[in-house]
């Protein structure tokens, strides 16, 4: 069942027409000491804008005073009238706002003035708000041309962003992203961190809607860093929420819940009702996935109450949809239908195409359970048509699954199989690639966090070391003082002979203390070495567990997809005796066996964390001609390197790739060394690797062509070689084939 998640879009508010970021009391003090002039009109305009969120009557009062003064002075009229239009736009009075802004335009003589450009821009904003998107683009383009001619980069960036918003409302997401990125490039050039963060957030939300989860997560984390740099609590909270929605989309609910709770904590601190509502809604979705339906309903109704108080129609529609999901799972179909229909009605009023399609899929699923297949087809057709028109893979994925179930129930098994196959292939494309990219981002974050912790630990150790040194010096000083005092007492009370004896005793004591100190120092060194080794072993176990988790996740995903297709093919064969299904079953069984065999070869990679040994490359390479008798081998040269048992798996993987993917019949292994580097070249006469994929073959999850499988083998080869402190790259062989070049640290005997 598809779940609509409430994602906060950081929509950049229109830049104030004539405002500066000052406090109301400061502006009022300035105005009291300013004579009637253009400067006073500007202050009145600024005050009217500042009061829009505080006292609307005051806002209009100052706006009208600005108009009266501009009429009296006979100047600054366009600015004053335009400001009143802008205030009405902020208040939601679109019709009045448009009349006032168009009237202000007639007061400007110059065709290319900054004031004209800004008025055109705000008219564009009004048309966005009233859903007249083509008119909006018309005015925003006029505004953009003037700003480009004047070279006003901040204003150009804002118009690019507004055009992006317009295309987003038109659900033309590729065009929208293009303009958001144009805005982002200008903000980066201006080093405007706040604008960069806001635009990044919006771009991330687009990637999320398009189901490009890896890109979305990468963008949101970049955005989070910007807001942390600014110490912007609201921005940090919104980033936490967005990151949580991505993890929820890839079904990593534990991490999603962690980020949602961080988001809720900040929203409660700032008493942001809208933010609190969003947090409760998203946390409720998690509880729904956990099948804790009572908890989910409790959180949904809290969020719904807040949204109704705020008259947040989009939020209300979202929660109605999500309540429908809960009651659907509880088999309370009447309540589920009621909430779905309420959600659909509001989404249509808001012209929210994504929400309409999402709820339509949910209604199709509901009518399927009610055995009303005609209605189910009607709603899924609407959702699927929308998904294909705007290329929304998440909606399309759910539609394929519903079609598969409907065709099965209506005894159209071939179509059921085709749609289920589309579903598994699309899910594989969306989730496998995204999960692997997300996993890489998570690893990078863990490494970054670990490095920070290590820096703090090293700093703490240095401080402790200095403190211990200081304490040690103090103890030695006190000891010397005691000995001196003792010595002088004996000089007074004893004769020279007794004094001499005491000196001998003192020397013996000093030697004993020195010996004990040396023993203590040696014991401390041994303890430190033991601690370092223990920490190293712990780190090795953690790395091994991470790698094992990654391999398990991929094999589970690959095998489950194959088994699902086999199951569908068996059902079709039982009903239709379609022998083509036997070929499909055989192909999927072979692929599953191949998956298991491949992952057996990666077992050594999991444990490849221990201290490296001295390995003779020639001895490792010499084992392979026996295992591949059909291939002609040539092995030349010797060199000893730092590696471990996984080196054999690396060589086996490269040779298998040359045979399987390159169809090679001959492989030459050339071993050479220079100074402290050993170079191993695997040279084959196969079909080679095209330039378009050569830079991607070592990426996790990449595979190419009909012989490609999970795409993990060469990625593991690269990680293993880098673990040894080496590197690997690929070259073309002449006249055909490829050369894999490995560089490793050479063992140098002293």
Kindly report, residue by residue over 39-58, the tens digit of the pLDDT. Answer: 888 888 888 888 876 788 88
725 close to 745: Cβ distance less than 8 angstroms: yes
Of 616, 631, 618, 636, which Cα lies nearest the Cα of 662?
A: 631
Chain centroid offset of residue 506 CA: 69
Query: Among 28-42, 333-347, 665-679, where is mean pLDDT lowest?
Result: 28-42
pTM over 0.85: no
DSSP of 11-30: PPPPPPTT--S--HHHHHHH
The strand order across the sheet containing 666-674 reads 632-636, 666-674, 677-684, 738-745, 727-732
Q: Does an H or E element contain 256, and which? A: helix 253-270
Q: Does an H or E element contain 739, and which? A: strand 738-745
Of 209, 208, 240, which Cα lies nearest the Cα of 223?
A: 240
Q: Is the pLDDT of residue 22 over 80?
A: no
Distances from the Cα of 508 to the Cα of 504, 505, 512, 515, 601, angstroms: 6, 5, 6, 11, 65
Of 369, 428, 431, 408, which Cα lies nearest the Cα of 568?
A: 408
Q: Is the pLDDT of residue 667 over 80?
A: yes
Of 79, 153, 152, which Cα lies nearest the Cα of 122?
A: 79
| Digit-coded pLDDT (tens) for 231-254 | 999 899 999 999 999 998 888 889
Residue 12 pLDDT: 32
Q: Is the pLDDT of residue 629 over 50?
A: yes
Q: Is the pLDDT of residue 456 over 60?
A: no
| Digit-coded pLDDT (tens) for 117-137 | 989 999 999 998 888 999 999
28 close to 44: Cβ distance less than 8 angstroms: no
CA distance 614 to 665: 31
Give the 3-state secondary structure percentages of the chain, helix then strand then coil, rounded to 5. Answer: 75, 5, 20
Q: Is the pLDDT of residue 374 over 90?
A: yes
Average pLDDT over residues 260-267: 91
372 close to 391: Cβ distance less than 8 angstroms: no
Average pLDDT over residues 337-347: 94
Neighbours of 22 (CB within 10 A): 13
CA distance 316 to 205: 20
CA distance 426 to 65: 61
Q: Is the pLDDT of residue 381 over 90?
A: yes
Residue 638 pLDDT: 93
Rg of the chain over Cα atoms, rounded to whole angstroms, equals: 36
Neighbours of 92 (CB within 10 A): 9
Average pLDDT, the chain: 82
CA distance 740 to 728: 7
Q: Is the pLDDT of residue 452 over 60?
A: no
Scanning 494-579, the segments in alpha helix (DSSP H) are 496-576
Beta bridge partners of 739: 683, 731
Phi-psi region of 705 (alpha: psi -120 to 50; beta: other; left: phi over 0): left
| Digit-coded pLDDT (tens) for 44-98 | 888 888 887 678 888 888 889 888 988 888 888 888 888 888 888 888 888 998 9
* 3 state SS for 307-373: HHHHCCHHHHHHHHHHHHHHHHHCCCHHHHHHHHHHHHHHHHHCCCHHHHHHHHHHHHHHHHHCCCH
CA distance 226 to 235: 9
CA distance 310 to 304: 10
pLDDT band at 615 (very low <50, low <70, confident <90, very high): very high
Residue 338 pLDDT: 95
Q: Which two tokens stand for residue 361?
A: 């899929």
Q: Which two tokens stand for residue 484?
A: 């001196």
Q: Is the pLDDT of residue 582 over 70?
A: yes
616 vs 469, higher pLDDT: 616
49 close to 59: Cβ distance less than 8 angstroms: yes
Which residues are within 8 A (CB) of 743 and not within 5 positions of it... i.e. 6 or more apart? 677, 678, 679, 726, 727, 728
Q: Is the pLDDT of residue 10 over 70?
A: no
19 close to 45: Cβ distance less than 8 angstroms: yes
CA distance 683 to 663: 13
Which residues are within 8 A (CB) of 51 and not within 5 positions of it... i.e. 6 or more apart? 24, 58, 59, 62
Scanning 350-495, the segments in alpha helix (DSSP H) are 353-369, 373-390, 393-409, 413-427, 433-493
Q: Which two tokens stand for residue 411?
A: 């005894």
The owner of tokens 């050039």 is 189
Residue 18 pLDDT: 32
CA distance 193 to 197: 6
pLDDT band at 20 (very low <50, low <70, confident <90, very high): very low
Of 263, 261, 259, which Cα lies nearest the Cα of 249?
A: 259
């Amino acid at each position: 069942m598809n779940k609509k998640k409430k994602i906060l879009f950081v929509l950049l508010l229109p830049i104030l027409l004539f405002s500066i970021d000052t406090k109301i009391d400061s502006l009022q003090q300035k105005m009291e000491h300013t004579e009637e002039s253009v400067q006073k009109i500007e202050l009145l305009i600024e005050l009217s804008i500042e009061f829009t969120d505080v006292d609307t009557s005051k806002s209009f009062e100052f706006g009208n005073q600005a108009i009266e003064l501009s009429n009296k002075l006979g100047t600054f009229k366009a600015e004053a009238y335009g400001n009143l239009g802008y205030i009405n736009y902020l208040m939601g009075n679109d019709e009045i706002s448009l009349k006032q802004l168009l009237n202000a335009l007639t007061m400007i003589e110059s065709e290319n003035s900054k004031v004209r450009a800004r008025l055109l821009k705000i008219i564009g904003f009004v048309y966005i708000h009233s859903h007249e998107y083509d008119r909006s683009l018309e005015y925003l383009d006029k505004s953009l041309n003037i700003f480009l001619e004047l070279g006003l980069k901040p204003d150009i960036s804002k118009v690019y962003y507004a055009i992006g918003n317009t295309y987003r409302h038109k659900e033309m997401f590729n065009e929208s992203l293009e303009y958001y990125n144009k805005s982002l490039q200008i903000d980066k050039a201006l080093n405007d961190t706040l604008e960069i963060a806001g635009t990044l957030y919006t771009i991330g939300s687009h990637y999320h809607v398009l189901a490009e989860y890896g890109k979305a997560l990468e963008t949101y984390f970049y955005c989070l860093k910007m807001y942390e740099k600014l110490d912007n609590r609201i921005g940090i909270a919104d980033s936490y929420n967005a990151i949580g929605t991505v993890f929820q989309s890839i079904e990593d609910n534990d991490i999603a819940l962690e980020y949602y709770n961080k988001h809720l904590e900040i929203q409660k601190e700032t008493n942001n009702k809208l933010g609190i509502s969003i947090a409760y809604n998203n946390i409720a979705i998690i509880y729904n996935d956990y099948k804790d339906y009572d908890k989910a309903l409790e959180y949904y109704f809290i969020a719904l109450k807040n949204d109704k108080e705020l008259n947040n129609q989009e939020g209300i529609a979202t929660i109605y949809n999500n309540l429908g999901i809960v009651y659907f799972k509880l088999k309370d179909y009447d309540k589920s239908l009621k909430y779905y229909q309420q959600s659909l009605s509001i989404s249509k009023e808001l012209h929210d195409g994504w929400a309409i399609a999402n709820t339509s899929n949910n209604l199709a699923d509901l009518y399927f359970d009610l055995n009303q297949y005609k209605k189910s087809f009607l709603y899924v057709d609407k959702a699927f048509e929308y998904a294909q028109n705007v290329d929304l893979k998440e909606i399309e994925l759910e539609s394929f699954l519903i079609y598969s179930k409907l065709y099965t129930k209506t005894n159209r098994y071939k179509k059921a199989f085709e749609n289920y196959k589309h579903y598994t292939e699309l899910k594989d494309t969306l989730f496998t690639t995204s999960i692997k990219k997300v996993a890489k981002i998570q690893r990078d974050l863990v490494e970054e966090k670990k490095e920070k912790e290590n820096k703090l630990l090293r700093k703490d150790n240095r401080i402790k070391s200095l403190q211990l040194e200081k304490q040690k010096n103090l103890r030695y000083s006190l000891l010397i003082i005691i000995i001196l005092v003792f010595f002088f007492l004996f000089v007074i009370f004893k004769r020279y002979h007794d004094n001499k004896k005491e000196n001998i005793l003192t020397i013996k004591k000093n030697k004993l203390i020195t010996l004990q100190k040396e023993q203590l120092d040696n014991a401390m060194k041994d303890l430190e070495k033991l601690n370092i080794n223990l920490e190293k072993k712990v780190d090795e176990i953690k790395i091994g567990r991470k790698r094992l988790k990654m391999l398990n996740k991929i094999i589970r995903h690959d095998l489950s997809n194959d088994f699902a297709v086999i199951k569908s093919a068996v059902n079709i064969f039982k009903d239709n005796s379609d022998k083509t299904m036997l070929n499909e079953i055989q192909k999927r069984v072979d692929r599953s066996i191949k998956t298991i065999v491949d992952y057996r070869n990666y077992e050594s990679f999991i444990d490849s964390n221990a201290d490296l040994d001295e390995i003779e490359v020639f001895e490792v390479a010499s084992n392979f001609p026996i295992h591949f008798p059909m291939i002609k081998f040539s092995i030349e040269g010797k060199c000893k390197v730092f590696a471990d048992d996984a080196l054999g798996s690396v060589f086996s993987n490269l040779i298998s790739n040359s045979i399987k993917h390159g169809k090679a019949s001959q492989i030459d292994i050339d071993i050479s060394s220079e100074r402290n580097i050993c170079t191993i070249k695997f040279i084959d006469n196969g079909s080679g690797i095209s330039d378009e994929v050569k830079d991607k073959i070592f990426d996790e999850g990449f595979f190419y062509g009909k012989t490609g499988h999970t795409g993990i083998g060469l990625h593991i080869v690269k990680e293993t070689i880098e673990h040894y402190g080496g590197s690997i790259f690929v070259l073309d062989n002449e006249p055909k084939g490829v050369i894999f070049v490995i560089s490793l640290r050479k063992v140098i005997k002293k």
